[in-house]
Structure 1
């Protein structure tokens, strides 16, 4: 299967369909069944103690699998998350961006299953790991 959307096309899609959050994310790399996305960490993403909040980390994982799926199937605004499991493994470094690396494990007609490792910029070990499933609406 080949790419149906480039990095620039995915960025424009996010800006058009999800303007409320598009500025939080930067798509860094798009490849066959994979994508890398950066959460541009700001004050709104922090919890007491100065670390990135769990909901912000979840949002990064969710958006990353969504974008990896769209890169392969094309623009489909109504693809939705049907399952998510996330492990928070380490405290992210305060005040630095998070980087999510996703690979799709399965891409079928109705489901897309992805795995995401999330890193705090500058740290080698991941701060979180997530597995998500997306439902793809029928054509």
Structure 2
């Protein structure tokens, strides 16, 4: 399955800023950095709000990163459809990430007319050190 993106990182970041400005309430922490055939990479620059006791990034923050990044992967390939919604997201936390930037690499597993399934891999500074893995399903509204 070869998918051709129709939105680039700039278009996706602009869409998030205009249609979902609430994700930047604490400053611009989410940024799409790459878009490719069937893929999107998003960076999270966490601030104090995203940390939890014990000196690590919180689970809800990593969940949000996986969800927003996977959503962007879908939009990159179907266009700016604000009403595409998450119907399921399953995440496995594999190891404790150090405080600092996280990267979420997403790959579309299925892109149908009504549903999309995306895999999300979250890592810290070392791209080989996976800290969380998620799969997400999105409902795509009829055109």
Fold agreement, TM-score > 0.5: yes
Count the aligned residue pairs: 138
Cross-structure match for 2:18: 16
Runs of 5+ in structure 1 lacking a partner? none
Please list the CA deviations of residues 34-65 of structure 1 after superposition, one character each: whole Å capped at 9, or x if unmatched: 00000111101011112100100000000011
CA shift, 1:29, in A, is 0.4
Larger deviation: 121-130 or 30-39? Answer: 121-130
CA shift, 1:123, in A, is 5.7
1:55-74 alignment, distance < 5 Å: 55-74=60-79
Q: State TM-score, norm by structure 1.
A: 0.95
Runs of 4+ in 1 over 6 A off after TM superposition: none
Runs of 5+ in structure 2 lacking a partner? none
- Asked whether the 8 Å contact 2:4–2:36 carries over to 1, the reply is no
**Structure 2 counterpart SS, 1:67:** helix
Cross-structure match for 1:34: 39
Q: State TM-score, norm by structure 2.
A: 0.93
Cross-structure match for 2:101: 97
Q: Distance in 2 between matches of 1:3 and 1:132?
A: 19
CA shift, 1:74, in A, is 0.2
Cross-structure match for 1:136: 140
Q: Distance in 1 between matches of 2:103 and 2:125?
A: 7
